[in-house]
Structure 1
Amino acid sequence: LASMRHILAGGEALSPGHARTLRDANPSILLSNGYGPTETTTFACHHPVTARDDFNLPLPLGGPIANTAIYILDAWLNPVPVGVAGELHIGGAGVARGYLRRPGMTAEKFIPDPFSGEAGARMYKSGDLARQRPDGTVEFLGRIDQQVKIRGFRIEPGEIETALTALPGVREAAVLAREDVPGDKR
């Protein structure tokens, strides 16, 4: 990696241990922890990883990239106070138009942005639980639903359970994401 100048990590949570190893071995490389669902381009937030980070904790998502707004809202779409958990919403130029041929899902996840001041502006309900630190950086806390990410793919256990119970001879099903070996979710 000696020839690299800047590494943007995304798709999965950046392991603090891996980030520390990279920073220790290559202190001149700029390392950014990127966050952003597909519905809002590649990244919506980024956090420049530095030696000041606490590598014993999950790395923060950071702050919004240019032309992006990050809102942490309660169930009634009110901003929550600093330090309080809420659902992360993303607004700005990178928000997609919606899901192809999925109007119901589009209406559920892409909602009017009351904070933008721009007519017709929308924001994306990420389903991610987050909170804002006093310094303004955003921390990822998990999901508000049962969705899990495995090797970069979004998995909905409820959808798999529904498919399994539709099979002859299957009355009940439970789907769990397991991580018997740290970092190897299945």
Structure 2
Amino acid sequence: SFSFDASVWQLFWWSLSGASAYLLPPGWEKDPALIVKAIHQERITTVHFIPAMLNSFLDQAEIERLSGGTSLKRVFAGGEPLAPHMAARFASVLPHVSLIHGYGPTEATVDAAFYVLDPERDTDRLRIPIGKPVPGARLYVLDPHLAVQPTGVAGELYIAGAGVARGYLNRPALTAERFLEDPFYPGERMYKTGDVARWLPDGHVEFLGRLDDQAKIRGYRIEPGEIEAALRSIEGIREAAVTVRTDSGEPELCAYIEGLR
């Protein structure tokens, strides 16, 4: 959907390299079989999935034995963390296709970092890195006093550079809280992501989690507290708690409720 933040670069980036974009017929984006059909018919070289949909696509790719030959050259995955087991499965199903892990919030004009996976090195990782900043962006890992954290030490991730947004529309207080002066580039600003990260010895950034309870489910930002409040407003429910579980291998919301006696 062009109302989704990732559409910003999807609608424009292909034109910079002289390529063309193919828009799936309405409804096809929900059916992995039809997506694979379009890839065959249109000789698609590049696609972008959120990890949850990538998993369904790999199911269909196995069924149709795409590893035997496909026009695909690269697949981008972003919107939520990419699990190492999915990266390993991708390398097994599509060994000749590059997998790129993208990271970036809407406030930084979507993607601020990319990481190209290396099947021989990355399938045994506990976490897939988010990589290095894209041209024009800067990533900082800082402590609560905005001092730079050394390699391997966790801190909050900040994004600076040309892609940082002006702020939130009609929300000056939140804008002032999240968009701060860049202490390293006078006159510029940086975005306080609320994400916890660290620099790795190889120069890539690793995402470790959130400072708050916010979660990413199928590419959408979820505030569990808002869901808990909605559940408590239902007649007969006294208390509610919402958490994210990954029992199935993918993040899912799970609600616990206590009823009135």
Q: TM-score, normalised by structure 2?
A: 0.65
Q: Any conservation in 2 of the 1:127–1:143 contact (CA below 8 Å)?
A: yes
Question: Which residue of 2 is the match for residue 15 of structure 1?
Answer: 83
Q: Give the letter aligned to residue 156 of structure 2.
A: E
Q: Could you tell me how far 1:54 is from its partner in structure 2?
A: 2.9
Residue by residue, what CA displacement relative to the aligned partner does 1:113-145 show, whole Å, maximum 9, x if unpaired? 11124x2x1111111100001121111111111
Q: Does structure 2 retain, via aligned residues, the 8 Å contact 1:89–1:126?
A: yes
Note the residue ranges of structure 2 that are not aligned, 5 or more in a row: 1-65, 254-261
Q: Matches of 1:172 and 1:51 in 2, distance apart?
A: 45
Matched AA of 2:190: M
Quick one: structure 1 residues 173 and 18, their matched pair in 2 at CA, closer, same or farther if it must change by over 3 Å?
closer
Sort the Cα spacing of 1:24 and 1:40 in 2 relative to 1 into closer, same or farther, 3 A: same
| Closer, same or farther: CA 105–167 of 1 in aligned 2, 3 Å | farther
Q: CA offset at residue 59 of structure 1?
A: 0.8
Aligned CA RMSD, in angstroms, stands at: 1.9
Match of 1:157 in 2: 224
SS of equivalent residue, structure 1 residue 14? coil
Larger Rg: 2
Instruction: Tell me if 1:109 matches 2:150.
Output: no
Give 1:9 deviation, angstroms: 1.0
- Mapped to 2, the partners of 1:113 and 1:42 lie a distance apart of 19
5 Å-filtered alignment, 1:37-116, equals 37-56=105-124, 57-116=126-185
Give the Cα–Cα distance (whole angstroms) in 2 for the partners of residues 168 and 51 of structure 1: 51
Is 1:70–1:88's contact at 8 Å kept on the other side of the alignment? yes
Contact in 2 for aligned 1:74/1:80 (Cα 8 Å): yes
Identify the range of structure 1 (123-132 vs 144-153) with the bigger mean alpha-carbon deviation: 144-153
Alpha carbons 2:244, 2:251 under 8 Å: kept: no
Question: Identity, % of aligned pairs?
Answer: 52
Q: Which amino acid is the alignment partner of residue 107 of structure 1?
A: A
Query: C-alpha distance in 2, partners of 1:177/1:4?
Result: 33
Task: Find the counterpart in structure 1 of residue 102 from structure 2.
Answer: 34
Q: Return the letter of the residue paired with 1:44.
A: A
SS of residue matched to 1:114: coil
Letter of the structure 1 residue corresponding to residue 128 of structure 2? L
Contact 1:53 1:59 (8 Å CA) reproduced: no
Partner of 2:213: 146
1:115-134 alignment runs, 5 A limit: 115-117=184-186, 119=187, 121-134=188-201
Amino acid at match of 2:136: N
- Distance, in Å, in 2 between the alignment partners of 1:124 and 1:95 is 7
Q: Which has the higher contact order (CA 8 A, sep 6+)?
A: 1
Amino acid at match of 1:26: L
What letter is aligned with 1:46? F
Alpha carbons 1:33, 1:49 under 8 Å: kept: yes
Contact 2:78 / 2:219 at 8 angstroms: preserved in 1? no
Contact 1:68 1:92 survives alignment (8 Å): yes
- Inter-partner Cα distance in structure 2 for 1:155 and 1:26: 31
The structure that is helix-richer by fraction is 2
Question: Deviations for 1:153-174, whole angstroms, at most 9, x for unmatched residues?
Answer: 1111223334444566655432
Q: Distance in 2 between matches of 1:180 and 1:31?
A: 24
Q: Residue 62 and residue 181 in structure 1: after superposition, are their counterparts in 2 closer, same or farther (change >3 A)?
A: same
Report the CA distance shift for 1:177/1:51 in structure 2 as closer, same or farther (over 3 A). Answer: closer
